[in-house]
Structure 1
């Protein structure tokens, strides 16, 4: 498939997990992909893998919670390729923490990366898309942005904010031919989830909460990003798509 030939995609949090799968999907379908990560080691690893696969990429080291770093990263993409057609606004962090014990510094860190970083990146890329006559932005939210989950007050708040940020962006940017949507994954097996949850927890979660009887994989989410970035989604903006194996149907 070559749905994204001659397209430029920027993917944040691109060096592992869902972000890596999204970047790989766009590249496999013909896009040139800018890979943004805060980890030089992980960025080098994915760079080698993607080059070996024949993908055209641009690795960029940046922390999405730093607006100046994101501005420089976007400027680098423009200087090399001249435009950005697709933004996969994916970078995020998560960990458990009891509400009553939640440290203020941890609350700020979660919001800085998950919500502020989403805003900084989206705003910077949107300004370029306005100049070039349009584009597509896909923000990564979560089922935790729709329903609550204990021990994730900071994460839930950040992901809920992304849902309404997405709707507001869609309202304001539609007249510039910029489509904006959000994806809300449920339980996806990633390096981040493996640090948080042991095998016994995952088995119980599948048994009690997921009608399809398995956890999601990064590729399940990457396919939805590819759909939303394609012409098949040309009349879709301002919405959220849930990818959860039926969890929210309970």
Structure 2
């Protein structure tokens, strides 16, 4: 398929994990890519691989929690590519720690990146999309934004905020031709999850909680982002799509 030929897709948190898989998926379907991350080494490695495969790629090192950095980056990407058709709002961080032990700096950092950063990026891109006649924004939420999980109060709060941010933006921006949806992955194996959980924990988690009997892969999520960005989802907005192997079916 070549569904995104001639379209520009901006992806935050694009250097590794799910963000890298999403970048590869859109590149494989013909998109021009504006890749954003605060980690320059991973970002350049991903961009290099995609460029070698024939994709048109530009990279931007940016801290999405900094509104001014975000606005300058969106302006630069729009100037370079002429327009931004799709925003994949993926950048995020997580820590595992009990609610009574959460320090102010950890609380602020997670909210700043996962929620504030998502808003600054979506707002800046939506302004461009409104001027150009429309577009699609897909926000990275989580099943942790739909149900609680112990030891992730700050992360859960940030992702719950993303879910309602998505619905509110969809209501306000629909008349401008902008669709806004969210994806809620369950347990997906990424460098971030591997840094938190042991192999033993993962095996028991799958056995007890995931009906499909396996952990999710970044590619499982990337396909949903591509669908929501495509014309196949032209009448879908304000939705949260769960990708969890059946975990929330319990």
Q: What TM-score does the superposition give when structure 2 sets the normalisation length?
A: 0.99
Q: Are 1:235 and 2:235 matched, yes or no?
A: yes
Alignment partners' CA distance in 2, 1:225 and 1:39: 22
Deviation at 1:102, TM superposition (A): 0.6
Instruction: Give the corresponding residue for 1:90.
Output: 90
Give the 3-state SS of the residue equivalent to 1:93 in structure 2.
coil
Give the 3-state SS of the residue equivalent to 1:183 in structure 2.
strand
Instruction: Give the corresponding residue for 1:181.
Output: 181
Instruction: Give the corresponding residue for 1:99.
Output: 99
Instruction: Give the corresponding residue for 1:8.
Output: 8
Alignment partners' CA distance in 2, 1:183 and 1:47: 24
Alignment partners' CA distance in 1, 2:172 and 2:135: 13
Give the 3-state SS of the residue equivalent to 1:161 in structure 2.
helix
Alignment partners' CA distance in 2, 1:166 and 1:47: 28
Cα RMSD (Å) of the superposition? 0.5
Unaligned runs of 5+ in 2: none
Deviation at 1:146, TM superposition (A): 0.2
Instruction: Give the corresponding residue for 1:55.
Output: 55
Paired residues in the alignment total 250
Give the 3-state SS of the residue equivalent to 2:151 in structure 1.
coil
Unaligned runs of 5+ in 1: none
Instruction: Give the corresponding residue for 1:166.
Output: 166
Instruction: Give the corresponding residue for 1:148.
Output: 148
Alignment partners' CA distance in 2, 1:8 and 1:21: 17
Q: Deviations over 1:60-90 (max 9, x none)?
A: 1101001111111101111111100000000
Q: Deviations over 1:151-197 (max 9, x none)?
A: 00000000000000000000000000000000000000000000000
Instruction: Give the corresponding residue for 2:68.
Output: 68
Deviation at 1:139, TM superposition (A): 0.3
Give the 3-state SS of the residue equivalent to 1:211 in structure 2.
coil
Alignment partners' CA distance in 2, 1:210 and 1:55: 36
Alignment partners' CA distance in 2, 1:223 and 1:204: 27
Give the 3-state SS of the residue equivalent to 2:33 in structure 1.
strand
Instruction: Give the corresponding residue for 1:115.
Output: 115
Alignment partners' CA distance in 2, 1:47 and 1:245: 30
